Structures are given as structure tokens and as C-alpha cells.
Chains A and B, each alone.
Chain A
Amino acid sequence: MTVGAWAAMSLIVRRELCLSFRRPGQVLQPLVFFLIVTTLFPLSLSPQLSLLRDMAPGVLWVAALLSSLLSLDSLFKSDADDGTLEQLAICGQELSLIVIAKAAAHWLVSGAALVVISPLVGVALGIPTSAFATMMLSLALGTLTLSWLGAIGAGLTVGLRRGNVLLSLIVLPLAMPLLIFGANATDRAIGGTSPAGPLYFLAALCVFTCTLAPFAATAALRITLE
């Protein structure tokens, strides 16, 4: 009995979500890291909200970036460790579809969760509520793109001994444009000007990455699994 592509993908998504909720720690730790990192900046720089507001977009985005990097490590790792990844590669389904499903599930429990708790961080950093919509939209687009860029990096580094350091080294330069436009969008929303420009650019980056990255990530996995 062969399973259709959609059915296979939804199976993978459900499996990933199931496994994630079975180990809530793995899901919560990057989120807590996100909260802690954003706390570091007011502590080290200045507690005044009016001053924090100026750096808030940057702080928010750097924290989101670093926290996403932490959670990316687990994208393929546990499957690679117990051999599931090889089984997925030879099971007859298109590997790129499986990778899409895994990355989508991963984003749901990491990036989407970040977007949901971002208002908390926004309040802590003095971002006005009028900017929240832009902030959350830019974070959503950015973390989605990052999930994909990270999937390429994770595919290349899964199984390497110092894999997570190398993963950061590989993914961060590729993620810098995201940082620029995401922080810029939030910055403009705080300042009152229209964030449409950077948001469109973020959306374009997102579409570009989400369409091409699955192929690169699949190629990376095949290289690792050979």
C-alpha cells in the first residue's frame, strides 16, 4: 500500500509534533533562551524604556535569530542518530517533500511559538503596541525563512562533531539580510512610517528561500547520508 504525497507529509508533520510535545523541554528551551537573551540587553545597556525602544527591533531580532539557531540543531539530529533519516531517504517518497514537512513542523514549534510570545518581549523592550502587528509579521516571515536556511545548514552539518557551531557559522551570514530587513520593518513601525517596503522585501526573501531551499536541503541530506 503506497501512501500519497500529501498523506505522507501530514504523517510526518503529525509525527514531528507528537515527538515535540513528548519532549516539551526541547521545544521550550529555545523559547526561554529567547526571553533570557532579550532580558540581557536592558540589564547591560539601560532599563529606560524610551532608550530601549530605539534598540528594541535589533535586540528582538538578534535574540530570535540566536534562539532559532539553537532549535535548528534538533531538526535532523535525533532522526539521524537513530537511523530514521536513512529510512526516510529510502522509503520511496520524494525526500524533498519529507524535508518540507519536517521543516514546516519544526517552524510550527519554534518560529511560530516565537511569534506568539513576541508581544511579551515587545512590552518588555518598550515597543509600542501599534507596532506589534508589524513586529509579529516580520518575525513570522523571518523565522520561516530562517527555518529553511537552517534546514540547509542542518542537513550539511548533521552528524558532525562540532556541528552546532559550524551550523551557526554557516547560517548566520545567510541570515543577515533577514536581520536587516526585519529590524528595519519593526523600526519603521515604531517610528510611525510605513513598514511596507522592508516587509515586502522580507516576504520576497521568504518566498525565494521557501521555494529553493528545499532542494538545497535535500541535496545536503543526500550528501550527508551517502
Chain B
Amino acid sequence: MDAGFWSMGGYARFVWPCVGLTLAVLAWNIWAARRLYAKARIRAERALAMAAMDRA
């Protein structure tokens, strides 16, 4: 992994942003999915709590 690798034959300023961008998209997907699930869970817990209060 010498300097030749990082310079990508002169195309470094195209190749590395592409790799970085794609990895960022992958990371965003995981983050957004977990966030959606966490929010949904909170809302479900809240709905359950309110239903329990209604019953009480």
C-alpha cells in the first residue's frame, strides 16, 4: 500500500471520494434504520403506557 496505491494512478481525486461517498451512504443507511426503529419503539411504548392509563 505504497504511494502508488493512494494516488490511484493519478485518479485519486476521483476514486477516493467515490469510495468515501459510498461508505458514507452505507453508514447513513444503518444509522437511519436504527433511528427509525428506535423512534418507532418509543412511540409504541408511549402508546402502550397511555392505553394502560386508560384502563386504570
The answer to whether A and B touch directly, with their CB atoms under 8 angstroms apart, is: no
Interface of B with A (CB < 8 Å)?
A: none
